[in-house]
Amino acid sequence: MRVVLGAILAGRTLKWAECALTMIGALALGYCLAVFLEAKFYQAREERDFARELRLKEENKAAPVDSIDAVATPDKHGVVGRLEIPRLGVSVMVVEGVDNSDLKRAVGHIPRTALPWESGNVGLAGHRDTFFRPLRSIHRDDTITVSTLHGAYRYRVVSTNVVRPTDIQVLYPAGRDSLTLVTCFPFEYVGSAPTRFIVRAERAPGI
């Protein structure tokens, strides 16, 4: 009798465990889907608004233009512009800040680095499993464009590197106006990645 009861209890426990795991899996999948859709909707909305603002600026280019200094620093979480890497099919909106909420839905401009319309080193960060995943295939001499309401700024990739998270000197100015893209590495790593993948590009007005 005890053996029978034990078998029944074991069967019920196993069934409850299966149900619990199934529920956890469904919740995790639902969360991932919600994050994915939020990012998609955010990108579509901000891309549409950005394109409209660019069009309005073009239509009103003869009108007096406010000083760039008056709008040099975007609001936190506000849109900075659009990053494009044509060969990789990358086109993503860039926002001010690198909080988790920023990087879930866009690429983030790293505070205290130069903005695209300023001289210096522009630092942009993105998740390796979303917007910056294509960086694993980036090559030297690839063209990167950062479009803003102040203009479009083109860069040519000069190098890639893998560094420790503490190696923040990659964001320092380096004599020429430049762009540094930062994402976690290795790309296929499960969990918190131990290193950072760095793409360094220099501004090239002629391309």
Instruction: Map tokens 């709008």 to a residue.
Output: 71
Cα–Cα nearest to 81, from 55, 41, 56, 53: 53
Q: Which helix (H) or strand (E) holds 163?
A: strand 151-163
CA atoms within 13 A on the CB side of 94: 25
Omega into 64 within 30° of 0, i.e. cis?
no
C-alpha distances out from residue 160 to 21, 164, 189, 191, 196, Å: 41, 14, 18, 23, 11
Q: How many residues does the chain have?
A: 207
Q: Return d(Cα 94, Cα 80) in angstroms, integer.
A: 5
Active-site residues, by number, are 127, 184
Q: In 10 A of CB 54, how many CB atoms?
A: 16
Q: With the C-alpha atoms ordered 82, 87, 90, 94, is the resulting torsion angle positive or negative?
A: negative
Q: Return d(Cα 91, Cα 145) in angstroms, integer.
A: 9
Cα–Cα nearest to 177, from 98, 116, 104: 116
